[in-house]
Structure 1
Amino acid sequence: MKNKPFNLFLIVLVTAVSLWSLWPTWRDYSLSQQMDRFASAEDSLKFSISHRDEIENARRKSLKLGLDLKGGMHLVMEVDQVDLFEQKAWNKDARFHAIMAKVRQKAATSDAGVIDLLAAEFRKENIRLSRYFYDIRNSDREITGKLQKESEDALTRAREIIRNRIDQYGVAEPVITTQGTRRIIIELAGVSDENRVRNLLKGTAKLEFKLLREPEVLLRVLDKLNTSLASQGSVASPAAVPDTSGRAVPAAGTLLTAPPRTAAAARPLNDVLTVLQNGNVYVSEESREFVSRLFQRDDIKALVPQDSELLLAAKPDQLPDGRNYYSVFLVRKTAELTGGVITEAKASFSAEGAQPEVLMEMNSEGTAKWARITGANIGKRVAIVLDGAVYSAPVVQSKIPNGNSVINGIGSVDEAKDLEIVLKAGALPAPVRIMEERTVGPSLGADYIRAGMLSMMWGFIAVSVFMLLYYRTAGIAADMALVLNILVVLSVLAGFSASLSLPGIAGIVLTMGMAVDANVLINERIREELAEGKSIVSAVAAGYDKAFSSILDSHVTTLASAYLLYTFGIGPIQGFAVTLMIGTAASLFTAVVVTKEIFTFMISKNILTDKSFG
């Protein structure tokens, strides 16, 4: 028998490609081990920043573990259709807001469709939908049809934007499906920072550039609000008030501390705000939630100029008393520019290298508008608002003609990366809420990994020992083919960024049995040929020829079954089917091509003889 150059080349190529595909997995493991060896978190962070590209590249291309092995999160999220329909309405008045409030209340406690609830509430009030939606000439049936289409499009867009965010975050093989008309089911494997993922998924990413009103206007508005609150029965107290830690803080002209939590709701606004000599207004960290809810009240909004709104900073500043305070801003309600013009976002560090920030680039339309806005407002402040919170409000120093802008005031590198992700992925069409959340802990994942790896190891050892004992020297070829078979399966999973789950391990174990079964058929045919007195060369050739049809039939039927499982199955069943399909194809290759070339080599070196098959 002579070696076929093509077969040898094919075996070398498959082996090389498999090792190349698994190299990022090994590199990812090595880099993770290096990071774990650092004594401090600061050193580990510096290492991750300096090797950011290499770490991200290895992590992106490495073999990922599924939710059942690595642990992670299972979430059910719901698109806020009431908010979506409020955005689509026009000519909104108090009656419209009252109706939508009733719809929101009913939607929270009912499984009925939001559109059905909306239409029923309008019928109850004897108002046509066309008064607020689309054209006056449209019938209620036509409008509900259009709203249904808007709802379906919003769910689809939300799913794709969430998928883009998750892909950029680096979660392998996320499972993202829709349920009904407003819910999205998400499974994320290997997630450790749960709060970060929640914020990443919930954030609408509505980016706006808004002009700030003058400081004196802000102070007049706050004074007006305070007067109104005092007239409603709030208790004014210009004297020093104790903070939550019991310290006395002077009230007049310096930093005011939030009153105790039990009394916060009953005090006027000036008792929870701090006004500095430069006109900047702050609210203490303890009172932020109270003031935020206050600014959302309809009676408070009515006291603010119609073209303006009150917003709080996204991040606190530390003032001279050593405590955290959030800035209060009065901005123009109409945005000068929105995030739709952003084409690129990149997390970076400030010129001094101390603070993380996000650099943004705009398209041609945004560049032209940004140049006009900055040119017309030199010396004024422009607030960069994301999801209703002000990240920064820089003073425009000069006209910006190149369409670049920066978001600073960011607390950490991770937060900067998350902002980069949501800006790249785009804004959600409507807010989404987490309705259900389940977490698979890392200890459970570790148990699964240990059990899965042990099953693979013992399965491989049992099969290998059996082949060596039963077929002696000929069993070596089967064992070598088995190693390559497992290598190919894992490399294909890694190469296509698929994840290895517990059902996937079951598929690999089953694949090992199939691979050995094919070798058993071949070896038994060779034994029969040797029993008839043929030479080892003739017996091997005849054995492969006679066993080929049986091997092909069994592998084709297994592939067909695995394909049907993948097509009609979900979740774990699909994971099993994928590894089974890959393993079956690899088994056919190793059984028919690899072992034959090994036998040919062994015969040429007189390693394989008539006595080698037991």
Structure 2
Amino acid sequence: MFQNLKIRVGLILVLAGLCIAAMFYQKQAQGDIVTLGLDLKGGTYLALEVDETRARLTDEQRKDAIDRALKVVRIRVEGLGLSEPIVRKSGDYRIEVQLAGLRNTSSARNVIQKAAFLEFQIVRGEALRDALPRIERAVVAAMPNEARGAAAATPAGGVFQQGAGAQKQDSVSVGKPFESKLARAGSQGQFLVAAADTAAMAKYLALPAVQAALPRGTELVWGVASAEEAQGFRSLWLLERQPLVTGEALESAVAATDPQFGRPVVNFELNRRGGRTFGRETGRNIGKQMAIVLDEQVFTAPVIRGQISRNGQIELGQATLDEAADLALVLRAGALPAPLRVVEERTVGPSLGQDSVNKGFVAGLIGLAMVVVIMIGYYRLAGLFAVIALTLYVLYTLGALAAMDAVLTFPGIAGLVLSIGMSVDANVLIFERIREELEAGRAVRPAVSEGFKQALSAIVDSNITTLLTAAILYYVGTGPIQGFAVTLGLGIVISMFTAIFVTRTLFTLYLERRSPAAQGLSI
């Protein structure tokens, strides 16, 4: 089929058109004809390590935590929708993340660092009333000045309501620092703490004696940002310490919009084992509130209306749909085995990346100009054919990178330039073999045919060897090494096509258009 000249020319033109279309589409979608890496486009670099502020780990535990966290972070970063993000291990105890072209670094940082430890716990707000005397004694014993301050103050939120009535302000506030900062909220198990009192309340909750004074098997947990907090309050919940199920039973989580109220929610599904446990426990607690706790903060606490098995929903209140999508992403990725902290954060500005692009572009132009001058000056018409093939090679390579949405890095440019050199080298081998055939007295057509035939084995051998090297580099390398390997391997395949197929087509087209008497070839 490819012996037909029209088919050969048609294939070359169709491939060129497809490459131009791919680059145009990429330009419209990304702003560049090829997706540029962090070193060329700019972006964010993060280095993460295990946060050991709460508990020290052994070297083996730290290494295991990093290995497990690497998988979670990679899933989360890939879920951000960025082009070719780089997530890799650096040494034994560090994770490196490169996010090319990212501008909203805080959002990505929050997604990466979020522990995503999910629990479903029963609310026990009514049990706090009986424990209040013990809690107050614990606070007064540990902080006597707090009791005197509570007696002198009359805070606006210092009423602990009971049923339909309420105790008077002065009877509660005198000598009762804990209760003076606590007010009953509208829902069954939620309490509100004034924003000005949250620091003091946090100190109370950190006291071991206060934790011991809580009802057995319960804990006080803060809520996340809500409408009440926007008005100057922070919510506090008393929960059963033992969760019904945890996020380990989670199979999927998807952000959606509540069709009834139009608010963002996260729909989740548990595995079979978790679903059985969830169904049994929710059936036992119908009519009670169930808090959905993520990273030790209550997101919402709906009332259990009936038995729930595998499917449920997390309401996010005033959150946006993007925040719901981020939450669904971290829940799908799973909980981090240990908290991570950012030990290094570096932003590569677009100006620095553009400077690298400009320098690489100038270097490429100089190299191509020298190749054009040398090839045409030495091989004349055949050299012109090589230059045309080389131009198509550049077009095909850029088009393939755009179609694959591959990332072009500075090492990738080096691989591209190297493959250009190999393409020219293939043409040199072919032209020298044709020259030998012409010097031996062969006619032009047989000389061209024999020259391509004799040079083919050497071209294929050298290119396959380099292609295997590129494959090994991609398999064992990371980041920039892989970028170099991708462009080198892709360039080799395309250079073989242009050096052999395109150049041969140009020779054939030239010879077909010449009269038999004028078929001399200067080479």
TM range (shorter): 0.7 to 0.9
Is 2:214 the partner of 1:300?
Answer: no
Per-residue CA distance 1:119-153 (angstroms, 9 max, x = gap)? xxxxxxxxxxxxxxxxxxxxxxxxxxxxx4x6655
Partner of 1:584: 492
Question: Which residue number corresponds to residue 263 of structure 1?
Answer: none
Selected match of 1:521 from 420, 423, 429: 429
Q: Per the alignment, do residues 427 and 505 of structure 1 end up closer, same or farther by CA in structure 2, a change over 3 Å counting?
A: same
Aligned-partner Cα distance in 2 for 1:369–1:183 = 37
SS at match of 2:287: coil
Conserved? CA contact 2:158–2:182, under 8 Å? no
Q: Which residue of 1 aligns with 2:168?
A: none
Cα distance change of structure 1 residues 459 and 288 upon mapping to structure 2, 3 Å threshold:
farther
Conserved 8 A contact 2:158-2:183:
no
Shift of 1:357: 1.6
CA distances 1:294-350 after superposition (whole Å, capped 9, x unpaired): 53443332222231111111223246xx63433111111000111222212111112
> Which residue in 2 is equivalent to 1:390?
298
1:133-144 aligned at under 5 Å gives the runs none
Match of 1:482 among 390, 412, 426: 390
Secondary structure, aligned partner of 1:302: helix
Shift of 1:501: 0.7
Does the residue aligned with 2:214 lie in a helix, a strand or coil? coil
Does the 8 Å contact 2:299/2:316 carry over to 1?
yes
Specify the structure having the higher radius of gyration (Cα): 2
Please say if 1:547 is aligned against 2:458.
no
Q: 1:229 pairs with 139, 155, 160, which one?
A: 139
Give 2:107's match in structure 1, choosing from 196, 200, 211.
Answer: 196
Q: Provide the rounded CA distance (Å) in 1 between the counterparts of 2:194 and 2:522.
A: 83
Comparing 328-337 and 190-199, the one that deviates more: 190-199
Q: Which amino acid aligns with 2:49?
A: E
Counterpart amino acid of residue 221 in structure 2: L
Match of 1:186 among 93, 97, 107: 97
Match of 2:235 in 1: 327
Q: How does 1:59-70 map to 2 (within 5 A)?
A: 64-70=35-41
Q: Which residue of 2 aligns with 1:145?
A: none
Amino acid at match of 2:253: A
- Decide whether aligned partners of structure 1 residues 65 and 290 sit closer, same or farther in structure 2, where only a CA change above 3 A counts: farther
Asked whether the equivalents of residues 522 and 547 of structure 1 are also in contact (C-alpha less than 8 Å), the reply is yes
Aligned: 1:115 with 2:36: no
Q: Is the 8 A contact 1:21 1:492 kept in 2?
A: no
Match of 1:575 among 471, 483, 489: 483
Q: Distance in 2 between matches of 1:6 and 1:238?
A: 100
1:417–1:290 Cα change, 3 Å: farther
CA distance in 2, matches of 1:392, 1:27: 43
Rounded to whole Å, the distance in 2 between the matches of 1:509 and 1:583 is 9
Contact 2:511 2:519 in 1 (8 A): no
Aligned to 2:3: 4
Residues 238 and 251 of structure 1 are in contact (CA less than 8 Å); yes or no, is this contact kept in structure 2? Answer: no
Contact 1:15 1:484 in 2 (8 A): no
Mapping 1:391-410, distance limit 5 Å: 391-401=299-309, 403-409=311-317
CA shift, 1:393, in A, is 0.8
Cα RMSD of the aligned pairs, angstroms, is: 4.0
2:429 corresponds to which letter in structure 1? Answer: L
Q: TM-score, normalised by structure 1?
A: 0.70
Q: Quickly say closer, same or farther: Cα 1:251–1:374, change in 2 above 3 A.
A: closer
1:164 aligns with 2:75: yes
- After superposition, give the CA deviation of every residue in 1:208-249 in whole Å (9 maximum; x if it has no partner): 1101013x33355567545543452222266467xxxxxxxx
What is residue 351 of structure 1 aligned with on the other side? Answer: 259
**1: CA distance between counterparts of 2:318 and 2:395?**
44
Conserved in 2, the CA contact under 8 Å of 1:410 and 1:416? no
CA deviation map 1:43-62 (0-9, x unaligned): xxxxxxxxxxxxxxxx9xx9
Match of 1:76 among 28, 41, 47: 47
Please give the alpha-carbon distance, in whole angstroms, between the structure 2 residues aligned to 1:349 and 1:17: 44
The one-letter amino acid of 1:75's match is: L
- State how far apart, in whole Å, the 2-side matches of 1:505 and 1:293 are: 57
TM-score, normalized by length of structure 2?
0.81
Distance 2:372 2:130 in 1: 84
Tell me the amino acid that sits aligned with residue 217 of structure 1: A
Unaligned runs of 5+ in 2: 161-175
CA distance in 2, matches of 1:226, 1:446: 63
- Residue 517 of structure 1, CA deviation: 2.8
SS, match of residue 98 in structure 2: strand
Q: 1:158 to 1:442 in 2, by over 3 A?
A: same
Structure 1 residues 468 and 251: CA distance shift in structure 2, 3 A: same
1:399 aligns to what SS in structure 2? coil
**CA contact 1:384–1:407 (8 Å) conserved in 2:** no
Structure 2 distance, partners of 1:251, 1:564, is 67
Which amino acid is 1:307 matched to?
Answer: G
Partner of 1:398, secondary structure, is coil
Structure 1 partner of 2:173: none
Do residues 338 (structure 1) and 246 (structure 2) align?
yes
> In the TM superposition, what is the alpha-carbon distance from 1:373 to its structure 2 partner?
3.0
1:7/1:597 contact within 8 Å kept: no
Asked if 2 retains the 8 angstrom alpha-carbon contact of 1:464 and 1:479, the reply is: yes
- Sequence identity of aligned pairs in percent? 36
Contact 1:356–1:416 (CA under 8 A) maintained in structure 2: yes
Output the CA distance in 2 between the equivalents of 1:18 and 1:82.
58
Pick from 289, 293, 297: which aligns with 1:381? 289
Contact persistence 2:2–2:8 (CA under 8 A): no
Instruction: Say if 1:478 and 1:516, in contact at 8 Å, map to a contact too.
Output: yes
Q: Aligned pair 1:598/2:506, yes or no? A: yes
Give the match's secondary structure for 2:306. coil
Q: Distance in 1 between matches of 2:248 and 2:140?
A: 42
